[in-house]
Amino acid sequence: MAEEILMLALSPTMETGTIVKWHKKEGEAIRNGEVLCEVETDKATMEYESQSDGTLLKIIIGEGGEAAVGQPIAVAGEKDEDISSLLQKKPEEQRLKEPPVEPPAQPAGEAVKETVSAVEKKKEEAKVSGEPEERLPEGVKASPLVRKLAQQQGVELKGVSGSGPGGRIVKRDLGKLSKPSAFEAAAQLPLGVTREIPVSAKRRVIAKRLSESMYSAPHYYLTAVAEVDGLVRSRKMLNERMDRKVSFNAFLIRFAAEALKRHPMVNASFKEETILQFGSADIGLAVAQPDGLIAPVVRDCWNKGIIRIDKELKELVEKALKGGLKPEEFSGATFTISNLGSFGIRDFTAIINPPGSAILAIGEIRKEAFETDAGGISFRSVMNLTLSCDHRVIDGAIGAEFLADLKSMIKNPIAALY
């Protein structure tokens, strides 16, 4: 019997999903566990697997189309089965294979709707004056939207392979190309133009979660200055023995894990009637994406050394930057680290990432002058550590002791061994 294939919640915070690619065509056989399509969630692009055997009779939401969780995206059943009664229940627009035209997107990944467009104005003037509009090279097919996006991104459409009907270049084909940084993107857009930037699904979830965290958890902040010369030397010696460089963040995650072991209340979560003290140190590292932040999680850091943490972290970050993290790879961090030192930020405060009760903000490494015991001056490398704490779980003294131990390990890495 024919049944609807519904959009499933492929991530813990997913409310809507966008069909990136269908792996099956209408009329093809499908099997339980087989990948039907790829769905872009608020966090990553996930594979959607079939829940039953049968035939894919109808695709309701085509590639590029968006569906809410629980909304039908296709119909499956027996071959040549009549599904007209199912289709009649759905609005006509939901059965279109081509998604509706969306506002154009800026190169950094956000959709951009220009309220005043110098480009469009120029085109209108060209039509009035009789001047021909810019034409695509012969054999290149693309919609006006795609042409506009390509112009904004500085992409030559002649070299783009189209995946739409008849080789037509569609929006997702541009998304597969390398994108400029946010700074380059801003530089490419004309100045003096007022724009409305629609909020992406990922940005909506980030806004909701961080707002809930900020206003439900009473934050307070502790800042300390850590000497890092000992850590820099230790990292240099380790890198000389390795065939690759171990990241600075891997050391910080390992030291944070050890500090959490000594101060378990920092590794906990407020649950209204109880406080849940976690049995493992699952530490997330905030990673910037074009349309928001994500924090891939290194699990069970108490039982892993720096080299293993570094290997797993690099794999996770690479997947995060490509939007390929699975839900279990970015959810449930018991503690989070946010490092903006590479951006030249001296210190900042971060909002706690639930379900954890604390997040550590790392600033840049800098040189500062210190008075020696002999009355002279010496220069040491230091950085600021700012710990954001949920006062419902972590008292000030506990947070201070945690930060003091972490400082000690960063100054003298051997302190993490005892």
pLDDT tens digits along 307-325:
999 999 999 999 888 878 8
Confidence at residue 149, expressed as pLDDT on a 0 to 100 scale: 63
* pLDDT per position as a tens digit, 121-159: 444 444 443 433 344 555 677 766 667 666 655 566 766
Full DSSP string of 179-244? ---HHHHHHHSPSS--EE-PPPHHHHHHHHHHHHHHHHS-EEEEEEEEE-HHHHHHHHHHHHHSSS
Among 77-86, 173-182, 401-410, the minimum mean pLDDT is found in 173-182
Residues 401 and 418: beta-carbon distance below 8 Å: no
Nearest to 285, CA basis, from 293, 299, 297: 297
Using the predicted structure, report yes or no on whether residue 249 has a pLDDT greater than 60: yes
**Residue count of the chain:** 418
> What is the chain's mean pLDDT, rounded?
81
* pLDDT per position as a tens digit, 393-410: 999 999 999 999 999 999
Looking at the annotation, which residues are catalytic? 391, 395
pTM score over 0.85: no
Element (H, E) at 377: strand 377-390
Among 72-81, 214-223, 249-258, 355-364, the minimum mean pLDDT is found in 72-81
Confidence at residue 321, expressed as pLDDT on a 0 to 100 scale: 85
Confidence at residue 120, expressed as pLDDT on a 0 to 100 scale: 46
**Domains defined for the chain, CATH in brackets:** 3-95 (2.40.50.100), 113-197 (4.10.320.10), 202-417 (3.30.559.10)
In angstroms and rounded to an integer, the radius of gyration of the C-alpha atoms of the chain is: 26
Using the predicted structure, report yes or no on whether residue 174 has a pLDDT greater than 70: no
Nearest to 313, CA basis, from 265, 251, 243: 251
Confidence at residue 89, expressed as pLDDT on a 0 to 100 scale: 64
Confidence at residue 165, expressed as pLDDT on a 0 to 100 scale: 59
